[in-house]
Structure 1
Amino acid sequence: LIFNGVTEARQISTGTENIEFFGKRRRVEVCETMLSDYQGVMKRIITGDKTWIYAYDPETTDQSSEYRAKREPRPKKSRQSRSKIKVMLTVFFDYRGVVHYEFLPTGQTVNKEYYLNVMRRLRNAIRLKRPELWKDNSWFLHHDNAPSHTALIFRDYFAKNCDF
């Protein structure tokens, strides 16, 4: 940090933003190439993810900001915290939208047996909602590599029931 004058300060950077910029730019270029050259493949990818959904999630600072005249008093806001009531949402989607979603039952953990049952329900949802992908088994599943997703029982199931 370099001090400029009595009350002004400016931050000195190490130049990493150039590296970050070029890294981001490269990712954009790769994405654009994928979209233009591999359009057919991109339309066959079904992505899965999990997230916690809270009964009440307070606004972020940006969401709660408002414009005021200089002489207007600040709005009075109480500090709020997230609800302790939460549920895990598992969702699978493709370029057209949500294919399948479900909420984790209270007390249940995401283990290999639970996730295998989710996969069975996902396959049924694909059969019903994306019959063009189902008929020639041309869809790809993209999800993280959590232990419950890579368990042997899970891989065996897909080896027996899917051609990919």
Structure 2
Amino acid sequence: MENIVEQRVCLKFCVSNDISCGESLKMLRKIYGESCISKTRAYEWYKAFKEGREVVVDLPRSGRPSTATTKENIDKIKKLVLENRRMSLRELASEVNISFKSVHNILIDILGMKRVAARLVPKELNFVQRAQRKHVAEDMVSRASTDPTFIKRIITGDETWVYEYDMQTSQQSSEWRLENEPKPKKPRQSRSKIKVMLTVFFYYRGVVHSEFLPKGETVNKEYYLGVMKRLRESIPRKSPDLWQHNS
């Protein structure tokens, strides 16, 4: 509580010196870090001081005083959220045995957290996969810089499982995050039980050949020989310029 009052005093000082609320909040974050009050609270108090408020402590309220926002409960909620960022307010309230409103107040006003929807990415890669892709990319750039036609002569391919769409909603994938934390990520698809394998080949102008694995077929040597034969037949039709260059 003393920490919060100190920040209000700082805001009042900034108002007196005509420092904007945005700049004031930047200074508070630099000094107090994770303990800094939320942006919403900062703007509320800045506005109050601007309008002439002198008192920096909360005024007494009518009714029974709240005892839910104790340091113990704040620490409990922060620990729970950092362990499982997708916990709902009701789950947290049940776990800590305090009201829904008190949990909301602790998360938003005291911890300065907010619910952020995950950003879609093609797939999550581990460290080894990222390093390998970086190495291949650097090699490709090096070759392309010495031979301008290098990229144009490449046909590359890959296989992927195509699933029925079973997407998570933004609400389902959202997580509690502190103001200085990055947005969470999620895979573009949530895998369902129904899937089919897609094989696709492409070059710098687009797709050359693609096909789905027929039902009942097995991916083996014979299957891939057939795929390569059909790819070769597709090149003259879909990419005559590539075929003419004898690539």
**TM-score of the aligned structures, taking structure 2 as reference length:** 0.36
Unpaired runs of at least 5, structure 1: 1-6, 8-21, 68-79, 139-164
Q: Deviations over 1:68-93 (max 9, x none)?
A: xxxxxxxxxxxx96210000000001
Structure 1 pair 27/62, CA: closer, same or farther in 2 (3 Å)?
A: farther
1:132 to partner: Cα distance: 2.0
User: In structure 1, what is the equivalent of residue 68 of structure 2?
Assistant: none
Partner SS for 1:40: coil
Q: CA RMSD in A?
A: 3.6
| Max Rg structure | 2
Unpaired runs of at least 5, structure 2: 1-74, 76-130, 177-188
User: In structure 2, what is the equivalent of residue 50 of structure 1?
Assistant: 159
Name the CA distance, whole Å, in 2 between partners of 1:103 and 1:34. Answer: 32
Count of aligned pairs between the two proteins: 107
Partner SS for 1:110: coil
1:35 to partner: Cα distance: 2.8
Q: Which has the higher contact order (CA 8 A, sep 6+)?
A: 1
The answer to whether the 8 A contact 2:208-2:234 is kept is yes
User: In structure 1, what is the equivalent of residue 23 of structure 2?
Assistant: none
Q: One-letter code of the match for 2:221?
A: K
Name the CA distance, whole Å, in 1 between partners of 2:132 and 2:160. Answer: 27
Moved more, 92-101 or 36-45: 36-45
Q: One-letter code of the match for 2:238?
A: K
- 1:118 paired with 2:227, answer yes
1:104 to partner: Cα distance: 0.2
Name the CA distance, whole Å, in 2 between partners of 1:30 and 1:62. Answer: 41
**TM-score of the aligned structures, taking structure 1 as reference length:** 0.52
Name the CA distance, whole Å, in 1 between partners of 2:137 and 2:201. Answer: 24
Larger strand share, 1 or 2: 1
1:38 to partner: Cα distance: 2.3
Structure 1 pair 27/134, CA: closer, same or farther in 2 (3 Å)?
A: closer
